[in-house]
Amino acid sequence: MIFLPRKFSRFLRRRIARMNPGTFNVLQLAIGFLCIFFAFNSQGFIEQTVVSSKEYKLYKHAGYISMAIIYGVFTLANFIAAPIVGILGPKWAMVFGATCYAIFQAGFLFLNEYFLYASSAVIGLGAAVIWTAQGNYIAINSTEETASKNSSLFWAVSQVCLAGGGVFLYAIFANDDDTHEKKNDGSIETSTHHDDADDDISKSKVRILYTVFTAVTLAGAVILALLRIPKEDRLISDESEETPKPTQKELLVSTFKLLATKRMMFLSIAFMYTGIELSFWSSIYPTCISYTKDLGTNTKKFIAFNAIAQGMGQFACKFYFLSSLT
C-alpha cells in the first residue's frame, strides 16, 4: 500500500507526458478556474447570510444588491470585454479577471457596505473579461476535431469547484450543532428553539472563510499566469493567406453586429432563462435554506449539502458529454 501513491504519481506523469499540448493547456486552465470558482461560488451561497448578520450592521438586503450589481455590470461589460482581451491577450486578461475576484473576496475581511458595492462592480467587469478570455484560450488550443472535447474537459474539471466548496463549507459549519438542553432526569433534549442569531455566521468564521477564499483565488490567478500561449491559432486553416487581426474598434462593432443576428436573438432567450436560473440556485435558494427554521438551528450545513449535490450533478453531466466525445 505504501507504493500506491508513488505508482499513481508515475502513472500520472506518464499520462501527462503523452497528453496533447493543447489538451494539457485546457486542463491547466480548468484547474485555475476550479480554484477561482471554488471560492466565488462558495461565497455566493453564503454572501447574503454573512452581510445580513447583526454583527456587521449593513442593510439587510445588501447581499442581494451586491449580486445584482455583479451580474448587471457583468452583462454590460461583455460588450467591451473582447477589446480588453484583444489588448491584454487571453492569458493576462484572465489574470486580470482573477485579480478582480480576489479584490472582492478580500473585502469581506473588513466588510464595508460601500466597498462591497464598488467591489461588486469590479468583479462584474472581471467576470466579463475572464470568461471572454477563457473562450478565446480554449479556441486557440483546439482544432475543429478537439474543440468539443476540450470544452467538455474544461467544464468537467472546473465544476468540481461546487462539490469541493460544499465539502469546505460543511467542514466549517458542521460543528454548529443543534443546541442541547439537559432535562431534570439527566437526559439530553435537543432544543427546537431557533433564534435569529442562529442564522448568523460569526466574524471569526467569516475571517477564516474569506481568508481561504482570497488565498485560493490568488492561487488560481498564479495558475492562469503560468499558462502557455500556442505559437499559432489552431483553428486557423492551413491557407497561405493569413487573415489580418481586427482592430479594437472592429471587435467592438462586431460584438453589436453579432447581437443583431437572428440566431443570437433566439439564443438570447435561452441566455435570459439561464441567467434567472443562475441567480436562483447560486444565491436565492441557498439563502432560503439558511433561513428555513424547520430545518433546525444549524441550517448552514444544509447549504453545504446543497453545494455538494449541485457539484456532483454538474460534474456528472459534463463527464457524460466528455465521455461521448472520446
* Per-residue CA distances from 219 to 73, 201, 203, 319 (Å): 25, 25, 24, 25
The alpha helices in 198-281, defined as continuous H runs, are 203-225, 248-259, 262-279
Which of 89-93, 177-181, 210-214, 290-294 shows the lowest mean pLDDT across its residues? 177-181
Contact between 79 and 256 (Cβ < 8 Å): yes
Does pLDDT of 48 surpass 80?
yes
Instruction: List, for residues 225-269, the tens digit of each pLDDT value.
Output: 999 988 765 554 444 455 677 777 777 777 778 878 888 888 888
pLDDT band at 199 (very low <50, low <70, confident <90, very high): low
Count, residues in the chain: 326
Per the listing, cell 484560450 goes with 137
Which pLDDT belongs to residue 81? 92
Residue 281 DSSP class: I
Instruction: List, for residues 269-292, the tens digit of each pLDDT value.
Output: 888 888 888 888 877 888 788 778
Which amino acid appears at position 289 of this protein? I
Does domain 20-152+200-230+246-280 fall under CATH 3.40.50.150? My reply is no
Domain ranges for the chain, please list them.
20-152+200-230+246-280
3-class secondary structure, 190? strand
pLDDT band at 156 (very low <50, low <70, confident <90, very high): confident
